[in-house]
A = this chain, B = another copy of it.
Amino acid sequence: MENWKNLIDYRDLVVSIVGIGRIGLPTALMISNEGFKTYGIDIDQILVEKINTGGGDPPIPYLTDEPELENLLKKALKSKKLKATKNFRDYAIQSDLIILCIPTTITEQKVPDYSDINQVLKEIGQLKESLVKKIIIFESTVGPNYIEKIAIPLIEQVSELKINQDFWVSSCPERANPGNIIESLLTIPRIIGASNNYARNIVSYFYKTVFKVPIFKVSNIRTANSVKLIENIFRVVNIAFANELSQLIRRLDIDYMEVLKGATTKYNFLIHYPGPGVGGPCLPSNPYYLIDDGYKVSFTPNLITVATEVNQRQPFHIIELIFEGLNKINKPIANTKIAILGISYKANVKDVQFSSVIPILSELKKNKAIIGLYDPYYKEEEVLGFKIEKNHEFIRKDFPIIVIHTDHNEFKSLNFKEFLCECKDLKVIVDCHNTYEYKEIPNKIYYIGVGRPMKYIEKENYK
Q: Which residues of chain A have a CB within 8 Å of any CB of chain B?
A: 144-145, 175, 187-189, 191, 214, 216, 218-220, 222-224, 226-227, 230-231, 233-235, 237-238, 240-241, 244-245, 247-249, 251-255, 258-263, 265-270, 290, 293-294, 297, 299, 301-304, 306-307, 309-310
Contact = CB atoms under 8 A, between A and B. Distances in A.
B263 A230 contact: yes
A269 B216 contact: no
A337 B230 CA distance: 38
A224 B306 contact: no
A248 B297 CA distance: 8
Nearest to A310: B303
Nearest to A234: B269
A222 B253 contact: yes
A259 B307 CA distance: 21
Nearest to A217: B262
Contacts of A248: 290, 294, 297, 299, 301
Contacts of A263: 227, 230-231, 234
A413 B429 CA distance: 60
Given A223-B262, A241-B234, A303 B293 contact: no
7 contacts: A187-B267, A219-B255, A226-B249, A227-B259, A230-B263, A231-B263, A240-B303
Contacts of A267: 187-188
Nearest to A235: B268
| Residue of A220, A222, A234 with most partner-chain B CB within 10 A | A234
A258 B299 contact: no
Contact of A255 (B223, B230, B306): B223
Given A245-B301, A310-B302, A230 B216 contact: no
A306 B301 CA distance: 10
Given A230-B259, A266-B231, A303 B307 contact: yes
Given A252-B222, A266-B175, A237 B234 contact: no
Closest 6 CB pairs of A and B: A227-B262, A189-B265, A231-B263, A251-B297, A270-B270, A226-B259
Given A227-B262, A245-B230, A306 B299 contact: no
Contacts of A214: 265
A304 B235 CA distance: 15
B247 A191 contact: no
Contacts of A294: 248, 251
A254 B191 CA distance: 15
B252 A216 contact: no
A252 to B, nearest CB: 5
Contacts of A219: 255, 258
A222 B266 contact: no
A258 B223 contact: yes
A26 B243 CA distance: 36
Contacts of A222: 252-254
Nearest to A313: B302
A224 B219 CA distance: 46
A240 B457 CA distance: 42
B303 A265 contact: no
A234 B251 CA distance: 19
Given A188-B267, A226-B252, A301 B262 contact: no
